[in-house]
Amino acid sequence: MEAIADALAQSDYEIVCLQEVWVYSNFELIRHRTKRRLPYAKFYHSGIVGGGLVILSRYPILEVTHHPYRLNGLPIKVTHGDWYSGKGVASALIDHPVAGVIEVFNTHTHAGYGSQKNDIYLAHRVSQAWEIANLLKNSASRGRNVIAMGDFNSEPDSILHKLIVQHGQVADAWQAQHPSTPASATSGSSMNTWSKNYSSKESALNSDLGKRIDYVFYRKTSRFWCTGSRVVFTDLIPELKCSYSDHFGVEATFTLVGRDKNSVIPLSIWEQAAYDNVQEFEPLIYKTILTLFRQDTANAISNARFQLTLFWISCLLVICGIIIESLIAANVLDALWLSVIILLIVTGFAVFGTIIGLIGFLFGNAEERGFKHIIQEVESFIEGKKEYDSRRASAVTQEDNFSSDRSEGFGPLVEIDGRNQIY
């Protein structure tokens, strides 16, 4: 943490997003050492142990928010920790002197467990991609410049990456600058000393095994576009001879154009505030995620019922244990050693039953409703897009008909007082 703080203090970065800063004292250390270069800093409190998200800025931070993900792992999976960290999307409105308001999003999405084809939490992670994509669109619709950074735990060919880019209508800074260059790994690289793939041999370093799962996404406009992107913090810490983190950093450079009346860019562009559509929508993506959500809704219901079954079995065993203890206390059964064993078993089943019952009753219902809500959102989006495209097609047809009529010397018919009038 000290090495990261020193490196940031000596850099020329203007906005920095960090993940996995779990300990508040580490945030204070980084904030103290970078305060000259990055005087504005926010630590986002969330969940039980915290989400570890930090945003540093050279320019004033006007507002901060934290949007917790609706689906965020399972509380019964203690070793995963995603549910306990309260993962979500941190955002900060930054007042940039040239670009105006920039909304910066920082996130660390749910980690994938299992292979990419057999990811047991894929639906949770896709739901998070859907949520952050909506946040990006909503921010852009308010006229803000948009940047999203973080550990997205998803590779470029994954459905999560496609969903963020297409539904959120943003660009991947690396892909935008290096469309024909193989992706540079940010996690699991053979150059990273914390990676199981690490090797000091030159041949292994050149192979650069690993995955690109850390990104800088942005909304391209006529006043805001990316001009460079690269992977950084690949060197070793000189004093320690180890990497700064188990993930390398991602850097993006942007060109900003201020709203100046004397600018060579026409003012009509400012008024239009047009956004470039990065990619066309793929209907298959939405059908795929709907199928995925429906399957996991059924799984959530099944898991909740199984957990409740275990709860009732635990209750039955606890009752049986209490009855046996009562018989021993009444001298019906003379077995002190049995009393001790049963007491331990009853206590264990009581604790287990309470925990599994709460998870089944509370979290099981919450997970089911979370999936149903997102399914409703996706279905509404699909229907709304169909309606919107239909109206646009109808408007184009009417415009073509109008042009055809005008070329023949007639305008469209308009009904006034029950009569057809021509103008």
Residue with tokens 């009417």: 398
Dihedral sign (CA 76, 81, 86, 89): negative
What mean pLDDT comes out for the span 345-351? 87
Q: Residue 418: its pLDDT value, please?
A: 45
Are 153 and 96 within 8 A, CB to CB?
no
3-class state of residue 25 by DSSP: helix
pLDDT band at 206 (very low <50, low <70, confident <90, very high): low
Mean pLDDT, all residues of the chain = 83
Give me 157's structure tokens.
């060919």
- Model's pTM, two decimal places? 0.81
Q: Residue 204: its pLDDT value, please?
A: 52
Dihedral sign (CA 75, 81, 84, 89): negative
- Listed ranges 136-150, 186-200, 376-390, 392-406; the one with the highest mean pLDDT: 136-150
Cβ contacts of residue 134 below 8 Å, gap of 6+? 167, 168, 377
Q: Helix 159-167 and helix 283-329: axis angle, to 10°?
A: 120
Nearest to 45 by CA among 36, 34, 54, 58: 54
Residue 404: pLDDT over 80: no
Dihedral sign (CA 68, 70, 71, 74): positive
Are 125 and 80 within 8 A, CB to CB?
no
Q: Which residue has the higher pLDDT, 187 or 382?
A: 187
Of 17-21, 35-39, 268-272, 362-366, the range with the lowest mean pLDDT is 268-272
Known catalytic membership, residue 45: no
pLDDT band at 357 (very low <50, low <70, confident <90, very high): confident
Q: Residue 9: its pLDDT value, please?
A: 97
Q: Which of 108, 167, 247, 373 is labelled catalytic?
A: 247
Residue 280: pLDDT over 70: no
Give me 418's structure tokens.
């029950």
Residue 90: alpha-carbon gap to chain centroid: 10
Residue 76: pLDDT over 50: yes
